[in-house]
A = this chain, B = another copy of it.
Amino acid sequence: MRDVAIIGVGTTAFGEHWDKSFRAIGIEAGMKAMADAGISGSDIDGMYIGNMSAGHFINQKNIASLIADYSGMSTNHIPATRIEAGGASGAVAFRQAFMAVASGLSDIVLVGGAEKMTDLDDVKINSVLDTTADAEWEAGMGMTFAGLHAMIAQRMIHDGTATREEIASFAVNSHYHGALNPDAQFRKAITLDTVLKSGLVASPLRVFDCAPISDGAASVVLCPLEDARKYTDSFVKVSAAEQASDTLALFQREDITSFGATVAAAQKAYRKAGITAKDIDVAEVHDVFTVSGIMALQDLGFFRKGEAGKAVLDGQCQVGGSAVAVNTSGGLKARGHPIGATGVAQIAEIAQQLRGRADKRQVENARYGLAQSTGGTGSVAAVTVMEAI
């Protein structure tokens, strides 16, 4: 297996892009990543696309071919593959691209993630989101994705491993960083009160506990580490890209306040990278709800169970804080959550941090970074570890 490097990244602004089509945002991110990497389309010999549901959102499946076509690469007939893994679609697509380069089957691979969600009404959008839960035993019984996460929050509060305020503080942390990111959907800092007084969604979770509905795309370019310097002086090493599964339905887990798939993927990733959780300087975690952000920090080993909420409420996870810097992009909550794009955008943010290109949200001397994505209610998780070179 060859070592793999990220040599370029590109993202669109996240938000409501009623003036741009799915293919337009997909291409915009891809072109930016290629320009950043200093390559042209004819250099690319493989493509992976993370997308959750263009079939529902814009009546388009087979979108790997669409993106290859509209970026001009179908003339070379390059292999282009779409991955769907719910909210982890982008991160799992990245892992396939990593594998293609590591194996030697491909040399320069473009990974894209894209989703165009805002063309449907909210009821339809939410019925699509619920398809990542168990259709027979959860969604089919009327359970929603927010409802499942609300039960996790209730259990945490009941167990005493997080208070309501600690859970809510994850959104404050994300918005603090979102205000520093010009591409974020929400660029306003908020207070704990903003979260706790917003409209109720599924008790105890309120609107500001939930990531928004978004349009957006992100892209990164991979090549063998030994070739990276041919293209750019600024690249990062992909130290590990791991993935794990868990039961589809939440009720089948022994403990619903920890995602076993995140734990398993993280442990494997640390082992492969030869580091521990303590070595991570900056992390992007999957805060599709505030409560999933708190859980992630514990499942990734940054904090012991019951300690993550306190640290976030205390501001320790902000840029310049005393602990790992978390969701410097604004996270899913403030940067936005165009589902298929999210996992790739997280990796792009970490790559920019490790290249020292994160502007106002730069973590000083960041050496190791991590991105964590989940799909469904933690039924799939992907953990990617990167290292500054």
Contacts and interface: CB of A to CB of B under 8 A. Distances in A.
Contact of A103 (B56, B64, B103, B375): B103
A354 interface: no
A3 to B, nearest CB: 13
A105 B64 CA distance: 24
Contacts of A66: 134, 248, 379
Given A69-B245, A69-B248, A99-B105, A379 B78 contact: no
Size class of the A contact interface (CB-based, 8 Å): 35 or more
Contacts of A56: 55-56
Contacts of A81: 83, 85, 92, 96, 243
Contacts of A246: 65, 69, 74, 77
Contacts of A53: 55, 61
A244 interface: yes
Nearest to A376: B62
B65 A375 contact: yes
Interface string A67-99: 011100110011111111110000010011001
B136 A77 contact: no
Contact residues of A: prevailing secondary structure: mixed
Nearest to A105: B99
A128 B88 CA distance: 24
A222 interface: no
Contacts of A242: 79
A104 interface: yes
A37 interface: no
A163 interface: no
Nearest to A380: B65
A69 B247 contact: yes
A132 B244 contact: no
Given A62-B86, A65-B248, A136 B21 contact: yes
Contact of A135 (B58, B77, B96, B139): B58
Contacts of A78: 244-245
Nearest to A23: B136
A321 interface: no
A102 interface: yes
Nearest to A86: B62
A40 interface: no
Interface in A116-149: 128, 131-136, 139-140
B245 A64 contact: yes
A6 B56 CA distance: 35
A86 B80 CA distance: 12
A191 to B, nearest CB: 35
Nearest to A21: B136
A367 to B, nearest CB: 25
Q: Which of A104, A139, A244 has the most chain B CB within a 10 Å cutoff?
A: A244
Nearest to A66: B248
A265 B134 CA distance: 37
Nearest to A55: B131
A96 to B, nearest CB: 6
Contact of A62 (B23, B95, B131): B131
Given A62-B380, A82-B83, 13 more contacts: A1-B103, A52-B61, A58-B135, A60-B131, A62-B248, A77-B246, A78-B244, A79-B95, A79-B244, A83-B83, A84-B84, A96-B96, A99-B105
21 contacts: A1-B104, A55-B55, A61-B84, A62-B132, A64-B85, A64-B380, A66-B134, A66-B248, A66-B379, A68-B245, A74-B379, A77-B244, A77-B260, A77-B261, A77-B265, A78-B244, A80-B380, A81-B85, A82-B85, A83-B84, A103-B104
